[in-house]
A and B are shown apart, each in its own frame.
Chain A
Amino acid sequence: EAGVAQSPRYKIIEKRQSVAFWCNPISGHATLYWYQQILGQGPKLLIQFQNNGVVDDSQLPKDRFSAERLKGVDSTLKIQPAKLEDSAVYLCASSFQGGRETQYFGPGTRLLVL
């Protein structure tokens, strides 16, 4: 079974530029999560999708971050414009359903904002 795929793996941009990350969850997983993990901290949930609907986006900085999950499968996370403090690893995870099921994480995208 293929795991959660993410791209790109690394990205370096200058502040005020835009960036987009892509995630393809495990086939059949209805729930998809985007996390931000700053160095030395635990993952912080940015947004949770159930199929193509948003379940929780309370910690998503909506003035600059946006996310969508078209057709309830792939998802993209966008930052526009980026700030220095956005430098982090962005992790995508998926689970079979949003209840108590195990989350499987992708390899992450490491973002550096200069």
Chain B
Amino acid sequence: GENVEQHPSTLSVQEGDSAVIKCTYSDSASNYFPWYKQELGKRPQLIIDIRSNVGEKKDQRIAVTLNKTAKHFSLHITETQPEDSAVYFCAPRSGGDQKVTFGTGTKLQVIP
């Protein structure tokens, strides 16, 4: 199966600073790259995704960048707010069998 890694595993930032989380994957045929946010005790929710034919996508304070050659994609959060505190998961989808593999998660803490 696909090998998916996230870095860092934990991240603390001051409110207003930026946060970047990186996800590396092994399947070069992967073609869909979403990021999910999971608040404590709640279900994962999609916050942004990108397809393999696009290098970058932005939605207000959140952006995702994709480097298919290096097989990694990153989540960027600017002007962080306390409500951004959560665990973030990447979940690349392999191109052949469309199998989803979730990363190990990054716990983001935004300090007011």
For the complex, is B97 an interface residue (Cβ under 8 Å from A)? yes
- Residues in chain A near residue B51, CB distance under 8 A: 100
Contact of A43 among B1, B49, B102 (CB under 8 A): B102
Q: In the bound complex, do residue B43 and residue A107 qualify as a contact, i.e. CB atoms below 8 Å apart?
A: yes
**Residues from chain A with Cβ under 8 Å of B93 in the complex:** 100
- Specify which of A40, A42, A98 is in contact with B102 (CB 8 Å cutoff): A42
* Contacting pair B1 A42 (CB below 8 A): no
Task: Summarize A's interface: helix, strand, loop or mixed.
Answer: loop
Q: Do B89 and A43 have beta carbons less than 8 Å apart?
A: yes
C-beta contact mask, B71-112 vs A, less than 8 Å → 1, else 0? 000000000000000000101010001111111110000000
Q: Please indicate the chain A residues that have their CB under 8 angstroms from the CB of B104 in the complex.
A: 41-42
A101, closest chain B residue (CB): B32
Q: Does B29 contact A (CB under 8 A)?
A: no
Question: A100 touching B31 by the CB < 8 A rule?
Answer: yes
B44 to A, closest residue via Cβ? A105
A40, B106: Cα distance in complex, Å: 10
Chain A residues packing against B (C-beta within 8 Å):
33, 35, 40-45, 48, 55-56, 58-59, 91, 98-100, 102-103, 105-108
Q: Which 3 A-B residue pairings sit nearest by Cβ, starting from the closest?
A: A42-B102, A100-B32, A105-B43
